[in-house]
Structures are given as C-alpha cells and as structure tokens.
C-alpha cells in the first residue's frame, strides 16, 4: 500500500468546499436569525431617521454578538451569519497560505501574507476611531 502525499488537488477541493459550505452555512444562520427577529419584532416600526453608532472595540462587539446569539436573539444571529460570510474568504486565504507553504512557493507565501496583513489592518481600522 502506497502512501500518497497531500497535494494541490486536495487543497483545491478543500478550498472549494470551504467556499461552498461557508456561504450556505452563513446564509442559513442569517436566514434563521431573520425568522427569529421577525417573530419577535415583525410588527415594530424602525426609526431610520436616527443613525445609531456604537463606539466599542472589536472584543466588546464579539462578546456582545456571541452572548446575543447564544440567547437566540434574531438580530445577533443575523450578525453571526454576516460575520461567517465575511470569514469564509478569509479562511480561503489562510488555507491558500498553507497550500503555498507546502508547495514551497515562497513568492505566493509572501503575497498571501501581505493580503492577510491588509485584512487585519482593515479590520483594526474599521473598529477604532
């Protein structure tokens, strides 16, 4: 019995499945959150003339969203779905990084690290004022 190496085709399959299932899972979570939200708040009228902005850091936001989702709050379940949708391509970039490292393709390792740095910087500046 011959032992096969984990190859590029295997990574492409994993990445494809990650993108496919990541989108479906995130949409499902957001859809369920929407149903829960409408069940509890469907008759309310939202005042869109006032913009509500929260000045919190990312750790407070994550904690609040997590606690709200665990309690079954529809709005936070929708937010979890959006976060999962955002994280799907981020995980794709991380998997690509490992793929390039295994292939010893160091040019693409550096390029992928730059992309990851840009993502981290964007998230950091998005939550700080």
Give tens-digit pLDDT for 63-112. Answer: 888 898 999 899 899 999 998 998 898 888 998 898 888 888 899 999 99
**Does this model's pTM top 0.95?**
no
Q: What is the pLDDT of residue 114?
A: 95
- What band does 40 get if pLDDT is binned at 50, 70 and 90? confident
Average pLDDT for the chain: 83
Domain residue spans of the chain: 8-41+54-127
Q: At what angle do helices 8-41 and 74-102 cross, to 10 degrees?
A: 170
Q: What is the pLDDT of residue 123?
A: 77
Q: Map residue 8 onto helix, strand or coil.
A: helix
- Could you tell me the CA-to-CA distances from 112 to 14, 92, 125 in Å, in that order? 18, 11, 20
């Amino acid at each position: 019995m011959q032992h096969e190496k984990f190859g590029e085709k295997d990574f492409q399959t994993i990445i494809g499945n990650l993108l496919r299932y990541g989108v479906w899972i995130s949409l499902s979570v957001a859809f369920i959150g929407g149903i829960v939200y409408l069940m509890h708040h469907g008759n309310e009228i939202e005042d869109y003339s006032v913009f509500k902005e929260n000045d919190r850091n990312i750790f407070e936001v994550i904690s609040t969203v997590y606690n709200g989702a665990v309690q079954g709050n529809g709005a936070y379940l929708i937010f979890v779905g959006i976060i999962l949708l955002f994280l799907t391509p981020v995980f794709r970039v991380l998997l690509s990084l490992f793929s390039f490292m295994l292939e010893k393709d160091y040019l693409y390792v550096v390029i992928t690290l730059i992309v990851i740095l840009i993502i981290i910087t964007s998230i950091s500046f998005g939550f700080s004022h």
